[in-house]
Structure 1
């Protein structure tokens, strides 16, 4: 609602450098909301001040169309803003009011959403991706241009991972991720995770979805998340490093992710000017290493030169490699990693844990009971259009899984 207020004020003042960034962030938020629930209020959302308190639910297809239009409008307007326009300046934690940064961010969101449609509407996906490439400002093209949220670390606005870890010590790394990284000596392991309590030379994960009694056995033999996320804590953690996690940034959209989007587009033949799929794939891996502060150049080189597992293979195997590396690089951005897994089913090893209450990985969240109680008619209309309000219902961009070259079959996300 605050973002909408800034959009309204900025447009009333005809100042694109005020409303443009707010519209980009509003689009980012709505993209998360629709990718979690599917059909949600969009065209009538945020209009409570005008008396719209039971907004209609828009079809996800229409929401995506609206997001593409909003991002394009914001980018175009910011590019045309006069040099004398008032900027957000210090009120902008992302880019200090710089129009170029917001244009790149908007276009990169557009590219992300375009690729999301690859299985259900490849024609629109290709068109939107190329439009994002051609739009004013282009895409994020270095880690210096990443859309990072820099937490002040002042005890009020701290990195949320650090806040969670401040009073809890029941977080451990998942086998699903660690089993993809450890066998190939991924240099990011020592940043993503800490050595186990039982053995300071060992990194290890644990199964997902265990009961408390089952999980307790892994307390000392599985890895905590990386030391970079830890701040002041109430328990003893000798491996938690300098405890500067309160200020660790959150990565909204990165050069690595953009590189993998372009790598997939190149492999699909959708773009021809951004580089080869192999070069963009390697670029994405290197960008991720740099983003996470991996400084062992020899280890990175050895990783990139692993001809069995890492060197780019092209074709469907190459698309699988791109999807896996993108998923690994999206560490800490759970919604995006989940969305990419739903689109590609990579890694195939992601299945419900031993004690999970259902046998398949959720495809969406269910609507809340509160929403049903205050907006029942519109929720029911959305359910009638989208499908049953259950975890297994596939939303619009997820309803044609067999179109994904990496799709392994109906066993995707199903516990054996």
Structure 2
């Protein structure tokens, strides 16, 4: 009994001390005199931008659209994963961008963080990049927590916003960001464009143009307004020289992920779908996108002199164990640590303009006809990959039809290795026709990603509402804009 009383007395005393701490003013005793007094926004921006490579080189979408497939360890090419977590985007890059915007909008902190670039330019860059990340996310999952997200322990069960809401939000954010860009200093820590605000304006307007066309089947007015606004800005990609690309560093911490993937492994090979399409069309890009196999050959070469004989694609989703029998991705991509991965290109813009000319001729899309814009798109893609002029001329001369099917096909070819854009555009246009892997358990190419199981467990009510409105939480429920 005495022992119990002593323990209780100790506990009550400790509790008294703990509670009294709430009334004591310790002043700045816990402040680090050598620490920063405001966030270092340049570091936050660099950290956020370090997530771009994982987005633009993600193999999942690239396997879905059958640009590449896998060797002896098939996964995405068999659509094996059905549920994916979005948590890392919320707690990582987007949270960093939120903080940059917050402190630059705070009158008490704006002056100090202005040392890292003009306040409005910092906000503009953060909003553009945040819109880019959010678009990537909603084009994977559809409905997402947003207006009630980022509330910490006060908001652990946020509602899901519809994709329609999120797209409207993205357009508003891009337009707000573009309105803020000025001649002041660009943000420090910008590893993408080194603080060049003209490049950020081009990125934002091109993103707006692409996304406007993406929603054109479900909200023509929203699409027209934003598409024409992007064109009127005069700051969309206008040549291969100003393609929006991500340039990698030469050290192992910042170099090209494709180069890292092939340093000691050979997991990815060219898909037979793309290779046979290029072969049948006598498309010279077959020699630019890939390299000859070491031991394999095709039984049906099509180019003069059988120069394509060693260019071989693998069956999608099959265990292609003997990878030397197949072609790898071009050494231009996988052997260069500092390779520039395209995010948006001149070719993509030209094909978008050709589509608008064909489907929405009353929109202001600039000059040109469907046929001329389509041809310019092909030329831009081939020039981007340094195809010989004579080969470009021959190919264009034999590909003069510019139907929506033709445009969709050429866009699919031109978006080689751009997984997010290629997957999104294939879903929107439903072309070209792709045969799902016969080696998959569920022989349907995914059109979205399912939510991680933790969402249903920890946010059941809001999860149920989202599923009821959007459709079953499977990889085969179409997104808001995917109505064809």
1:320 correspondence with 2:320: no
Q: Which residue is equivalent to 2:204?
A: 106
1:249 correspondence with 2:340: yes
1:341 correspondence with 2:432: no
Shift of 1:55: 2.5
Shift of 1:220: 3.2
In structure 2, relative to structure 1, the CA distance for the partners of 1:282 and 1:76 (3 Å cut) is same
Q: Secondary structure at the match of 1:388?
A: coil
Matches within 5 A, 1:386-405: 386-398=470-482, 400-401=483-484
CA contact (8 A) 1:40 1:58 kept: yes
CA contact (8 A) 1:193 1:226 kept: yes
CA contact (8 A) 2:347 2:378 kept: yes
Q: Secondary structure at the match of 2:474?
A: coil
Matches within 5 A, 1:101-180: 101-135=199-233, 137-180=234-277
Q: Which residue is equivalent to 1:38?
A: 142
Q: Which residue is equivalent to 2:442?
A: 358
Q: 4+ residue runs of structure 1 moved beyond 4 angstroms?
A: none
CA contact (8 A) 2:228 2:365 kept: no
Distance (whole Å) between structure 1 residues aligned to residue 99 and residue 378 of structure 2? 39
Distance (whole Å) between structure 2 residues aligned to residue 140 and residue 10 of structure 1? 29
Shift of 1:377: 2.5
Aligned-residue CA RMSD (Å)? 1.9
Deviates more, 1:184-193 or 1:69-78: 184-193
Q: Deviations over 1:9-54 (max 9, x none)?
A: 3333372211111111110110000001111122233x24584333
1:289 correspondence with 2:371: no
Distance (whole Å) between structure 2 residues aligned to residue 283 and residue 333 of structure 1? 20
Distance (whole Å) between structure 2 residues aligned to residue 51 and residue 143 of structure 1? 47
Distance (whole Å) between structure 1 residues aligned to residue 345 and residue 365 of structure 2? 21
Distance (whole Å) between structure 1 residues aligned to residue 156 and residue 421 of structure 2? 29
Q: Which residue is equivalent to 1:258?
A: 349
Q: Secondary structure at the match of 1:149?
A: strand
Q: Secondary structure at the match of 2:324?
A: coil
1:271 equivalent among 364, 367, 372: 364
Distance (whole Å) between structure 2 residues aligned to residue 281 and residue 195 of structure 1? 29
Q: Secondary structure at the match of 2:266?
A: coil
In structure 2, relative to structure 1, the CA distance for the partners of 1:44 and 1:164 (3 Å cut) is farther
CA contact (8 A) 1:320 1:346 kept: yes
Q: Deviations over 1:299-329 (max 9, x none)?
A: 11111111xxx21x24xxx211111111111
Q: Which residue is equivalent to 2:37?
A: none
Q: Which residue is equivalent to 2:156?
A: 53
TM-score (norm 1): 0.84
Distance (whole Å) between structure 1 residues aligned to residue 244 and residue 105 of structure 2? 24
Deviates more, 1:163-172 or 1:98-107: 163-172
In structure 2, relative to structure 1, the CA distance for the partners of 1:31 and 1:337 (3 Å cut) is same
Deviates more, 1:268-277 or 1:253-262: 268-277
Q: Deviations over 1:261-281 (max 9, x none)?
A: 111111111335232122211
Q: Which residue is equivalent to 2:54?
A: none
1:96 equivalent among 187, 194, 212: 194
Q: Which residue is equivalent to 1:239?
A: none
Distance (whole Å) between structure 2 residues aligned to residue 48 and residue 159 of structure 1? 35
Aligned pairs, number: 367
1:3 equivalent among 94, 97, 106: 97
CA contact (8 A) 2:208 2:230 kept: yes
Distance (whole Å) between structure 2 residues aligned to residue 9 and residue 185 of structure 1? 55
Q: Which residue is equivalent to 1:25?
A: 129
Distance (whole Å) between structure 2 residues aligned to residue 346 and residue 153 of structure 1? 37
Distance (whole Å) between structure 2 residues aligned to residue 371 and residue 123 of structure 1? 34
Distance (whole Å) between structure 1 residues aligned to residue 235 and residue 333 of structure 2? 31
Q: Which residue is equivalent to 2:289?
A: 192
Distance (whole Å) between structure 2 residues aligned to residue 351 and residue 38 of structure 1? 24
In structure 2, relative to structure 1, the CA distance for the partners of 1:176 and 1:62 (3 Å cut) is same
Higher relative contact order (CA 8 A, sep 6+): 2
Q: Which residue is equivalent to 2:89?
A: none
The unaligned stretches of length 5 or more in structure 2 are 1-94, 111-117, 298-308
CA contact (8 A) 1:191 1:227 kept: no
CA contact (8 A) 1:149 1:249 kept: yes
CA contact (8 A) 1:143 1:287 kept: yes
1:332 equivalent among 394, 402, 417: 417
Q: Which residue is equivalent to 1:209?
A: 317
